[in-house]
Amino acid sequence: MDAQHAIGIAGRAFCAALITVTFGWSAGGRAAEAPVIAAASDLQFALPEIVEMFAADTGSTVKVSFGSSGNFARQIRQGAPYELFLSADEGFVLDLFREGFMRDDGVLYALGRIVIFAPLGSPLHADSSLDDLRTGLTDGRLAKFAIANPAHAPYGQRAEEVLRRRGLWDAIMPKLVIGENVSQAAQFAASSNTQGGIIAYSLALSPRVSARGTFALIPEDWHAPLRQRMALIKGAGSLATRFYSFVRRDAARVVFRKYGFVLPHEVDLTEAGAAR
Amino acid sequence: MDWTALGLSLQLGVVNVLCLVPVGIGVGRVLAYRRFRGKGLAEAAVALPLVLPPTVLGYYLLVAFGAASPIGHFWQLVFDQPLVFTFEALLIASIIFNLPFAIQPMQRAFEAIPPEVREAAACCGMSPWRALLSVELPLAWPGIVTAMVLSFAHTLGEFGIVLMVGGSIPGETRTIAIAIYDRVQAFDEAAAGQMSALLLALSLSVIALTFAFSRRVGRQLG
């Protein structure tokens, strides 16, 4: 009887706690209706600064989810509740537009660059010609090398393109560690778990990454340009629309430039477009 | 520390447990007392999430809930919003992958009730409902609590399915397990470390409490 009594009290207390927590969180936790933005993970450091400026300017905020552009494109097709998509490669945005998921074909907001990165203490020397990567592959210095997944991450596709162009792809394949997106690839390399990697310039420029290694820009004509396009998804609300305009304002462009992005008006777009 | 993610995980765990208690009692009781054709298959189906890779379940749920599927289409018609990548989708996924954690301890608890006790209840003229409420549930209570605690803790830790059917939407589907993954990718080791330590402490105390509880109850009832 004693035990049953104790269990009964414990059970009632547990149920009461459950109910309190449930309704407490339902009322508070999910009530805020900030629009959700899908952003390519090369914006991992630049975009939060822009969101902060937007919040200071308008008093409203947006929620950002970072990932690979290809993965976001799939999620948007499956009905994910994003309102704005900042892709690292315009192909994904243009395809979604043609399939009727986007409000319009959007705008180019930046051009991305890639770098070869070597963490501190790595036997690999980061040089833009990738010559030391070639030597490291033959003399056995290189055990693991990180890139983003070429199947759905634009930065992974460009990394593969460059490695193929330099004739390194077949030799490096067994040593590749594939990140789900470019930020994860950068994390693999910057944490010294790989001897190097090909990552986004915008990530390498962040103090959190640059303090952990050295990097060199890979020549931009060695790969198709990373034309980063953004567009509003059909049904996007007014706050997402305001943020979309904000990203094109001068204040935001300063942030993009700080993180090594080339801004669309700074290059000959027709030529860049023709190269694709 | 991502408090929104922690709150979301706790909320998911709690709502999930509230949904699973009636399911667990119903199914656990049927599996404990009834004999029927295909019972072995039913028990296997309940246990399946224990061995199935979370990504396999995630894949099928994504296919089943997607906008192109009948369920996804129906949901869109009724609620005017897609089902995948929402809290509701996470909840349905959590209920499915927690079925063994909820049903099996309850089934064992109902099986442990001596048949004479249930027969006595029936002889006293108690309706099946009355017998359930005043005889079976008080006796099976420790198993039910174990089931609730285990499925709550398991929900906090689930990663693969949540990543696949939830995406990582702040305040909607970014649970604490996903937030840790996210923070590591963002080079925010401090936050990832804090959240991991919190989950470790939480999981350890939940398991320790369950063990201590079942030992005490075992001693007192036995």
Q: Is the pLDDT of residue A235 over 70?
A: yes
> A1 pLDDT exceeds 50?
no
| pLDDT for res B144 | 93
Its pTM stands at 0.83
- Total count of domains within chain A: 2
Is residue A6 in a domain? no
**Residue where one domain finishes, among candidates A172, A193, A217:** A217
The continuous run of DSSP H or E covering A147 comes out as strand A145-148
Q: Give me the pLDDT at residue A270, please.
A: 47
CATH of the domain at A89: 3.40.190.10
Q: Residue A17 pLDDT > 80, yes or no?
A: no
Contact A119, A187 (CB under 8 A): no
Residues A162 and A257 in one domain: no
Do A256 and A163 reside in the same domain of the chain? no
Beta-carbon separation of A2 and B148 below 8 A? no
Q: Is residue A71 part of a domain?
A: yes
* B190's tokens: 């401090």
The two beta strands, A176-179 and A145-148, are: parallel
User: Residue B131 CB: number of other CB atoms within 10 A?
Assistant: 18
Q: What is the dihedral of CA A28, A30, A34, A36, to 10 degrees?
A: 160
- Looking at per-residue pLDDT, the higher value among A118 and A15 belongs to A118
pLDDT the model gives residue B23 = 96
What is the structure's pLDDT at B217? 74
Six-digit token string for A91: 């192909």
- In the listed set A176, A194, A217, which residue is the last one of a domain according to the structure? A217
Average pLDDT over every residue of A144-166: 96
Q: Are residues A95 and A162 in the same domain?
A: no
Q: pLDDT-based confidence at A27, cuts 50/70/90?
A: very low
Task: Clarify whether residues A190 and A120 are in a common domain.
Answer: yes
Tell whether A29 is covered by a domain.
no
The pLDDT assigned to A16 comes to: 60
Alpha helices in chain B (DSSP H): 3-33, 39-51, 54-65, 70-79, 87-97, 99-111, 115-123, 128-131, 137-157, 160-166, 176-185, 189-221
Asked if A107 and A170 sit in the same domain, the reply is no
A188, A262: one domain: no
Test B220 with A184 for CB contact under 8 angstroms: no
Contact (CB, 8 A) for A4 and B138: yes
Interface probe, candidates B65, B156, B187, B216, chain A, greatest A C-beta count within 10 A = B187
A183 touches chain B (CB under 8 A): yes
Report chain B's C-alpha Rg in angstroms: 20
Say if residue A122 is in the same domain as residue A96.
no
Residues A118 and A107 in one domain: no
Q: Give the confidence band of A276 by pLDDT, cuts at 50, 70, 90.
A: very low
pLDDT over threshold 90, residue A166: yes
The verdict on A200 and A139 lying in the same domain is yes
- CA dist B216 and B199 (Å) reads 25
Determine, for residues B84 and A7 on separate chains, whether the beta-carbon distance falls below 8 Å.
Answer: no
User: For every one of its 222 residues, what pLDDT tens digit does chain B have, with 9 covering 90 and above?
Assistant: 889 999 999 999 999 999 999 999 999 999 999 999 999 999 999 999 999 999 999 999 988 988 788 888 888 888 888 888 889 999 999 999 999 999 999 999 999 999 999 999 989 989 988 999 999 999 999 899 999 999 999 999 899 999 888 888 888 899 999 999 999 988 899 999 999 999 999 989 988 988 888 787 766 655
Confidence of residue A31 (pLDDT cuts 50, 70, 90): very low
Same domain for A179 and A107 = no
Query: Residue B11's closest chain A neighbor by CA?
Result: A22
Q: Is residue A30 part of a domain?
A: no
CA distance B81 to chain A (A): 8
Q: Is the pLDDT of residue A29 over 50?
A: no
How many Å apart are CA A16 and CA A3, to the nearest integer? 20
Q: Is the pLDDT of residue A139 over 50?
A: yes
Closest CA to A68 of A44, A99, A94, A98: A44
Q: In chain A, which residues have their Cβ closer than 8 Å to the Cβ of B66?
A: 78-79
Whether residue A88 is contained in a domain is answered as: yes
- In this prediction, the answer to ipTM > 0.85 reads no
Compare CB distances from A22 to B14, B170, B216 and report the shortest one's residue: B14
Say yes or no: A137 and A262 in one domain: no
- Weakest-pLDDT range from A38-52, A70-84, A141-155, B204-218: B204-218
Least reliable range by pLDDT among A61-75, A156-170, B65-79: B65-79
Confidence of residue A164 (pLDDT cuts 50, 70, 90): very high
Cα dihedral A100/A102/A104/A108 (nearest 10): -130
Q: Best of A65, A187, A203, A206 to disrupt the B interface by mutation (most B CBs within 10 Å)?
A: A65
User: Of the candidates A25, A67, A75, which has its C-beta nearest B10's C-beta?
Assistant: A25
In chain A, which among 92-151 make CB contacts under 8 A with chain B? none
Contact B14 A21 (CB under 8 A): yes
Question: Is the Cβ of A68 closer than 8 Å to some Cβ of chain B?
Answer: no
B-chain residue closest to A17, CA distance: B14
A178 inside domain: yes
Band (pLDDT 50/70/90 cuts) for residue A108 is very high
Q: Verify whether the Cβ–Cβ distance B76 to A79 is below 8 Å.
A: yes
| pLDDT(A273) > 80 | no
Q: Is the pLDDT of residue A274 over 80?
A: no
Identify the pLDDT of residue A30.
43
Judged by DSSP in three states, B147 sits in helix
Domain with A179 in it: 114-217
- Give me the percent of chain A exceeding a pLDDT of 90: 81
Nearest beta carbon to residue A184 from set B7, B72, B185 = B185
Q: Do A80 and B82 touch (CB under 8 A)?
A: yes
Dihedral angle at the C-alpha atoms of B115, B116, B118, B119, nearest 10 degrees?
Answer: 110
Long-range contacts of B115-123 (CB under 8 A, 24+ apart): B118/B33
Q: Residue A41: what pLDDT?
A: 95
- Residue pair A75/B167 in contact (Cβ under 8 Å)? The answer is yes
Predicted local distance difference test score (pLDDT) of residue A275: 43
* Best residue of A33, A68, A78 to probe chain B, by most B CBs closer than 10 Å: A78
Residue A175 lies in a domain: yes
Q: Nearest CB to A65: which of B167, B213, B220? A: B167
| All domains in chain B, ordered by first residue | 3-221 (1.10.3720.10)
Closest Cβ–Cβ partner in B15, B171, B182 for A22: B15
Q: Give per-residue pLDDT as tens, A238-264.
A: 999 999 999 999 999 999 999 999 998
CB contact under 8 A, A14 and B145: yes
A169 in the same domain as A155: yes
Confidence at residue A28, expressed as pLDDT on a 0 to 100 scale: 44
